[in-house]
């Protein structure tokens, strides 16, 4: 079945550090890929997405590129801020399906 | 205006009780969902409704019964609550998910069964 695997957390970085959160997926066909973010006490919000191979999603300084050959969608940011502290979820929707399949989430803490 | 709203935000109840969580969306979406987030933050779909019709039921115990009176509402009723039901339940909606359409989530309902 469809699945998403993210790097184990928690991840703790200093402000202005470079961030990578790895995400790989298993799905048939060409799924759409997403990163959602959950700030403390809130619901999930879409951070960025990519719907086909080699697409790059970007938002708020975060980027991720849909790599079909490695079935990956790694999240990156060049310089993190304290306000980026949250739980980040990688997710996919298989073609024709009507449900998001989430990875286990990665808790990110940024220290000033 | 809140796009997807759930009530209550917190719910503490004893084992064996029956409780409901309500969800409403004002986005005009056709599809609504219930997700369960466990203590390790893992999110898994429970149900999906499209235009009041159940389209996904992910092997959830039949103590959980979703009800959609109209396409803007999807309520979750839970009978005979168990300790293992303690979790955060998220309601979400989307126009559809095909082609990468965004899903919008409520703030969650933290259910604690004691």
At A45 the three-state DSSP class reads: strand
Cβ contacts below 8 Å, chain A against chain B, sum to 65
Please determine, for residue B99, whether its predicted confidence score (pLDDT) is greater than 90.
Answer: no
Distance (Å, whole) CA A101 – CA B50 = 18
Considering only alpha carbons, which residue of chain A is nearest residue B38? A104
* pLDDT score recorded for residue A1: 86
The answer to whether B45 faces chain A, any CB pair under 8 Å, is yes
pLDDT tens-digit profile, chain A (112 residues): 899 999 888 999 999 999 999 999 999 888 999 999 999 888 899 999 999 999 999 999 999 999 999 999 999 999 999 999 999 999 999 888 888 999 999 999 999 9
- Tokens 């309500």 map to which residue? B22
Q: What is the 3-state secondary structure (H, E, C) of B33-100?
A: EEEEECCCCCEEEEEEEECCEEEEECCCCCCEEEEEEECCEEEEEECCCCHHHCEEEEEEEECCCCCC
pLDDT digits (tens, 9 = 90+) for B43-75: 999 999 988 889 888 878 999 999 999 999 999
The answer to whether B33 faces chain A, any CB pair under 8 Å, is yes
* DSSP label at residue A42: S
Please determine, for residue B103, whether its predicted confidence score (pLDDT) is greater than 70.
Answer: yes
- Does A94 sit behind a cis peptide bond, omega within 30 degrees of 0 on the bond before it? no
Comparing CB atoms, the residue among B58, B100, B108 nearest residue A51 is B100
What is the distance in angstroms between the Cα of B80 and the nearest Cα belonging to chain A?
A: 26
Q: What sign for the dihedral angle of Cα B68, B72, B78, B84?
A: positive
Please determine, for residue B88, whether its predicted confidence score (pLDDT) is greater than 80.
Answer: yes
Comparing CB atoms, the residue among B31, B42, B90 nearest residue A43 is B90
Distance (Å, whole) CA B38 – CA B44 = 9
The answer to whether B42 faces chain A, any CB pair under 8 Å, is yes
């Amino acid at each position: 079945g469809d699945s998403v695997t993210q790097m184990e957390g928690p991840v703790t970085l200093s402000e202005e550090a470079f961030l990578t959160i790895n995400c790989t997926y298993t799905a048939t066909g060409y799924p759409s890929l997403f990163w959602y973010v959950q700030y403390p006490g809130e619901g999930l919000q879409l951070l960025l997405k990519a719907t086909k191979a080699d697409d790059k999603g970007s938002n708020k300084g975060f980027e991720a590129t849909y790599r079909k050959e490695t079935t990956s969608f790694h999240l990156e940011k060049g310089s993190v801020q304290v306000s980026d502290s949250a739980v980040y979820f990688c997710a996919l929707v298989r073609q024709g399906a009507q449900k998001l399949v989430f990875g286990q989430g990665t808790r990110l803490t940024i220290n000033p | 205006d809140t796009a997807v709203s759930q009530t209550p935000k917190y719910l503490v109840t004893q084992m064996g009780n029956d409780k409901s969580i309500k969800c409403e969306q004002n986005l005009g979406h056709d599809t609504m969902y219930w997700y369960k987030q466990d203590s390790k933050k893992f999110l898994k779909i429970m149900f999906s409704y499209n235009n009041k019709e159940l389209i996904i039921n992910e092997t959830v115990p039949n103590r959980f019964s979703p009800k959609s009176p109209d396409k803007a509402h999807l309520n979750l009723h839970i009978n005979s609550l168990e300790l293992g039901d303690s979790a955060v339940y998220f309601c979400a909606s989307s126009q559809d998910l095909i082609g990468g359409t965004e899903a919008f989530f409520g703030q969650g309902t933290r259910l604690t069964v004691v």
